[in-house]
Chains A and B, each alone.
Chain A
Amino acid sequence: MSESKVSPPSDERLRYLLMAAVDQEISGEGRRELELALQGNPDLREELATFHRLKEVTDTMTPLKPPEETWDTYWEHVYRRLERGIGWVLVSLGTITAGTWALWTAVGQLIRDMTMPAYVRWGLLALIAGFVILFVSVVRERLFVQKKDPYKDVVR
């Protein structure tokens, strides 16, 4: 941690020093600076004491260990995901190919079907075209726009 001497220390600087003191990452110079600031500031002393108490508590806490067999089967589960991933890619490719063919055939038949009134045919064509546009738009947004959105990690 870099600690250039600032007198009197800013609020931000004091926060850095408090954290460094609690985590025992404070340098000799930082320690002297903090001690000076603590002398005339009871609120700061209370804040440091609160952080030390909290640290004592969190030091006694540790994440719960999962059952031992979790590690024995871990790679197996990852491997299964990899296999299924390939499966999903093939299913998606097949669905897109078959779907495109079915759509193409349906539209062709619709255009050639003279028994159906023209307005119904045009209505059905508009419906199909609308669905295709919406589908492409949503897929495009998911695939490209989301990846490039600089604000996607911002939480209100």
Chain B
Amino acid sequence: MNTSEATDRVLVVRAQRGERAAFGELVTRYMQRAYYVALGLVGNHDDALDLSQEAFARAFRARAGIDPERPFFPWLYHIVRRLCFNHARDQRSRRLTLEKAGGWLTDTTMGRCPLSPDRAVERAELREQVGEAIERLAERERETLVLREFEELRYQEIAELLGIPIGTVMSRLYRARRSLAREIETARSRLRQERGAGE
């Protein structure tokens, strides 16, 4: 058990005794991770914030069931993902999400090196296409891709977090990336055709 897990253990035990301040420390420690995971799964800021906060509230209500000997975040993660999956299945919220699709990613190359206006537009379009394509992935594939690409977890860590074999992690990643590559290629061909027709 590392130092972080040891303090988690103390905080969990104190939270189980009903100390909200201790739970508050756990929230502060994991709020960013919970938020970014939710953002990857639902694709917009407001929903990610709402769902990650709701996950913490539910975690506090269910704190009696936490095993202090085990890491806190994987336990919380299962609440976050359940909430996010349920949210995504709601047709109404799915429509709202699609309206805002693609806007949850940012391009890390922007600002690092100056781009010509054309190139900047192209990068922005690409970012949007990637965001939209990720949002259209099946939820398990999307989840695995988000954990790998944006949480930067290794295969073993993803397998442990999701409770699945490492081969399943790789299969899901393969399917996710294949769909993503196809979607982006289709979107690019469409753009090329639109530009060709416009010229």
A residues with a Cβ closer than 8 A to B are: 1-2, 12, 15-16, 18-20, 22-23, 25, 50-51, 53-54, 57-66, 70-71, 74-75, 77-79, 81-82, 85, 153, 155
Closest-CB distance, A11 to chain B (whole angstroms)? 10
Known: A16-B171, A54-B180, A75-B24. 20 other contacts (CB 8 A): A16-B170, A19-B173, A51-B177, A53-B181, A61-B127, A62-B150, A63-B36, A63-B40, A63-B106, A64-B39, A64-B45, A66-B35, A74-B27, A74-B35, A74-B53, A75-B27, A75-B31, A81-B54, A85-B61, A155-B89
Provide the bound-state CA to CA distance between A62 and B45, in Å: 14
18 contacts between A and B (CB under 8 A): A2-B166, A25-B154, A25-B155, A54-B184, A58-B149, A61-B131, A61-B149, A62-B108, A63-B39, A63-B106, A64-B105, A71-B32, A75-B27, A78-B53, A81-B53, A81-B57, A85-B61, A155-B138
Closest-CB distance, B110 to chain A (whole angstroms)? 9
Closest-CB distance, A58 to chain B (whole angstroms)? 5
**Secondary structure class of chain A's binding surface, majority of residues:** helix
B85 at the interface (CB under 8 A from A): yes
Please tell me if the beta carbons of B155 and A60 are within 8 angstroms of each other in the complex.
no
Q: Which residues from 51 to 102 on chain B have a C-beta closer than 8 Å to any C-beta of chain A? A: 53-54, 56-57, 60-61, 85, 89
- Report the contact-size class of chain B (Cβ under 8 Å from the partner): 35 or more
Provide the bound-state CA to CA distance between A93 and B8, in Å: 34
B136 at the interface (CB under 8 A from A): no
Mask of B15-46 contacts with A, CB within 8 angstroms, 1/0 = 00000100010011001100110011000010
In this complex, what residue of A is CB-closest to B36? Answer: A63
B5 at the interface (CB under 8 A from A): no
Closest-CB distance, B144 to chain A (whole angstroms)? 10
Provide the bound-state CA to CA distance between A70 and B50, in Å: 11
Provide the bound-state CA to CA distance between A90 and B154, in Å: 45
Please tell me if the beta carbons of A50 and B35 are within 8 angstroms of each other in the complex.
no
In this complex, what residue of A is CB-closest to B159? Answer: A1
Find chain A residues with CB under 8 A from B31 CB. 71, 74-75
* Given known A58-B130, A62-B105, A155-B89, contact A70–B167 (CB-CB < 8 A): no
Closest-CB distance, B46 to chain A (whole angstroms)? 10
Find chain A residues with CB under 8 A from B126 CB. 57
One of A20, A63, A79 near B150 (C-beta < 8 A): A63
Provide the bound-state CA to CA distance between A147 and B102, in Å: 33
In this complex, what residue of A is CB-closest to B171? Answer: A15
Find chain B residues with CB under 8 A from A57 CB. 126, 130, 184
Find chain A residues with CB under 8 A from B171 CB. 12, 15-16
